[in-house]
Amino acid sequence: MCKRDSSTSDNLFSYYLMTEIPFSVFNQNFEVITGLRVENNLLRINTYEDSRSVQVKIPLNISSFKHDLLPAFSLIYRMNDASNLRLSYSKTVNRPQFREIAPFNLSLIHI
């Protein structure tokens, strides 16, 4: 029988800068909204395997550091007081869960 103890941590640090710039072209009102999000993510798994057949603990440490630049841009055309037409772009990120980067099978038991 094999016992596995582990600890995990997920630290996300982010910064965001945004600006809004209204302007007119041929008496038509527009606005540009642009921004940049900077994310630093550190994901850690620290574990060891304690095998009863061998009296040795095997350490296993995984660190994953990601630095992401996530821009956003919107161009808004103010058609009238009740309607806007917006063209937007943004970059997003989907981060892995602990079980997706662990080098072992993770079983969850629900009682």
Residue whose C-alpha is closest to residue 6's, from 99, 109, 110 = 99
pTM: 0.64
pLDDT, one tens digit per residue, over 15-24 is: 999 999 999 9
Question: Which amino acid, one-letter code, is at 79?
Answer: M
Q: Is the pLDDT of residue 39 over 80?
A: yes
Q: 4 near 53, Cβ under 8 Å?
A: no
Q: What are phi and psi of 105, to 5 degrees?
A: -75, 135
Alpha carbon separation from 4 to 9, 50, 66, 81, 104 (Å, rounded): 17, 6, 27, 62, 10
